[in-house]
Structure 1
């Protein structure tokens, strides 16, 4: 979709408001960190994002794209759609092929679903209003295997059961997130237009394949799918670097030696905000200690960083298996969505709905945590 532009006065009230907000935010951050330290941290964090995160995501996207290409070429996606359409339709209002995106993200990370969205044999099962919701359902299961296995390995009684319950909570959160997002996408796109104009494929009895031998088709589908992964990896770099650097700046605190301008330092604003809201959030999530709120708050920007906080909470005796269930569901459902949602929606050509996607997923993650809390308490009765 082409960007929409409009003409506004060259200098107006908007300029003054922007300058006030911009200087206030970064003035306060610079006052706490030191202006030079703040600038160095932003630059080094951005570099770290590109080298450690973006290239990793690109690698995941290349593999996921290659896998999508060969699965689509030989009809596996068509089979999955046929087998799971009866399940995905009532739960998510999505075709059965979307389950492949769930599995791909669960085994890797959120942006892996973008490589699937470049595959015509995958996209053809979706209508226009369903495609933007891939961001929400993919993110809901991002890093699921890593998070679940990590939580299961924690030295706390009931961690395995808690991690499995957390997965159930994440599923509930994903349904809430996708269903809310669908209300916005239906209003924006309508419900009639197909994502691809393949009139001869509407009955889903035919699919597109490449010409040539079986071996040639396999190689070409792998390479073309991998190329789509490279394109996606490059596309998401601006969003990941800008948004994730800002989120980390607001999430992390100073280093062991204070503010030095090192990468990933910050002013710990989001954890502070979480502490202030703990009187609401702790009862909903069943937290026994207000410090536990740091985990879901950190998961807004990075699920990996959030999981890194859990062993310290266990050592201090601040959490039980109930918290492990909630941590699993929220870390899995949110999985750093503030760091990736903007780039993912832009890559899907639906950046106009980015705010709606973030709002929907915020609600979905909260519902995931609440559901895990209630389900774990229920299971402990038996």
Structure 2
């Protein structure tokens, strides 16, 4: 008993306190129904969607690996990737795939032994931060352009790029500080040798394409299953503290909550006004929501526009933070878990939090300079 009391009692107090607070606002039946309905909706409309992305990008990535695109990118982009991100040039493939799809696409590549053979262990782990910073980038930019803004989203893209550099470099620094031997340790060793000795000379072109598509797609299914706990648990928790009641009040429907995070952020709105140029405290809801899901954060923009709260600066900052963070709280745990380094999740989250803030700040001040020109 003495062994478990020091940690058991504080844990029990915290858990009971959190649920007591939520239940005091929403009432117990509504709280339980909202938690279950939110998790169920996330499973059907988010997790399976991400699994589909993982399957497609896994297959595409395996095709690129099979036919030498990875080696080509390694040679062409090495001068750019190494000084900026301290990553081999082939990592740019992960940036392209996550930009076109979502964060977990980078793990589909990282799990491929031939792709991973280009990396040291600390570099491969930092791909979680690198790939996340470009997650759903195309969707975010197209959405913002659809709102009638054309230059601001691309300023936000530049901000996200800068935030990615900060996040990736910080993560690598954190890893080497706690695991210095990862600096010289290759990410893939014995498995690569088996893969490289595989003889494809007797296979026809059709069979090589078919095998690559099926093998890559199968790895995507594994990743899709691996992200389920992180998305359902973390994202549900973030959303129930971010969103508020519906027009009819608390009904137990999905995506209702206590609005605690926006309330707390509103208390320090002066800080956000200086960093991001936000002129209305409601705008803080976007970066907070983007922590759990950038898709949900984008859903706030039309209402903000209808209320007259947003301008070009807000769009630039939204794009930068939305891309750079892109729901990393709900995916980083699962991504690192699938790589076998769950113990480094806290370091990845801290590094990416800083990177996202840097992305927003840079987007704001670049937009200010752009307006002066």
Aligned 8 A contact 1:50 1:237 in 2: yes
Aligned to 2:173: 183
Structure 2 length normalisation: TM-score?
Answer: 0.95
Aligned 8 A contact 2:170 2:351 in 1: yes
What stretches of structure 1 of length at least 5 have no aligned partner? Answer: 1-7
Aligned to 1:84: 77
Aligned 8 A contact 2:117 2:192 in 1: no
Q: Pairwise CA RMSD of aligned residues? A: 1.7
Q: Does 1:142 align with 2:135?
A: yes
Aligned to 1:5: none
Aligned to 1:196: 188
Q: Secondary structure at the match of 1:342?
A: helix
Which structure shows the higher helix fraction? 2
What stretches of structure 2 of length at least 5 have no aligned partner? Answer: none
Aligned to 1:3: none
Question: Residue 11 of structure 1: CA displacement?
Answer: 3.2
Q: Does 1:225 align with 2:216?
A: yes
Any idea what the Cα deviations from partners look like across 1:220-241, whole Å, max 9, x if unmatched?
A: 0110000000011011111111
Aligned 8 A contact 2:47 2:231 in 1: yes
Q: Distance in 2 between matches of 1:197 and 1:311?
A: 50
Structure 1 length normalisation: TM-score?
Answer: 0.93
Question: Residue 190 of structure 1: CA displacement?
Answer: 2.8
Q: Distance in 2 between matches of 1:255 and 1:343?
A: 31
Q: Give matches, 1:308-319, under 5 Å.
A: 308-319=299-310
Any idea what the Cα deviations from partners look like across 1:259-300, whole Å, max 9, x if unmatched?
A: 111111111111112111211111110112222111111111
Aligned to 2:297: 306
Q: Distance in 1 between matches of 2:72 and 2:190?
A: 19
| CA distance 1:9–1:79, shift in 2 (3 Å) | farther
Q: Secondary structure at the match of 2:103?
A: coil
Q: Secondary structure at the match of 1:251?
A: coil
Q: Secondary structure at the match of 2:279?
A: coil
Number of aligned residues: 368
Aligned 8 A contact 1:255 1:265 in 2: yes
Aligned 8 A contact 1:115 1:229 in 2: yes
Q: Give matches, 1:228-239, under 5 Å.
A: 228-239=219-230
Question: Residue 303 of structure 1: CA displacement?
Answer: 0.8
Question: Residue 209 of structure 1: CA displacement?
Answer: 6.4
Q: Distance in 2 between matches of 1:147 and 1:53?
A: 16
Moved more, 256-265 or 217-226: 256-265
Aligned to 1:55: 48
Aligned 8 A contact 2:114 2:192 in 1: no
Aligned to 2:319: 328
Aligned 8 A contact 1:73 1:209 in 2: no
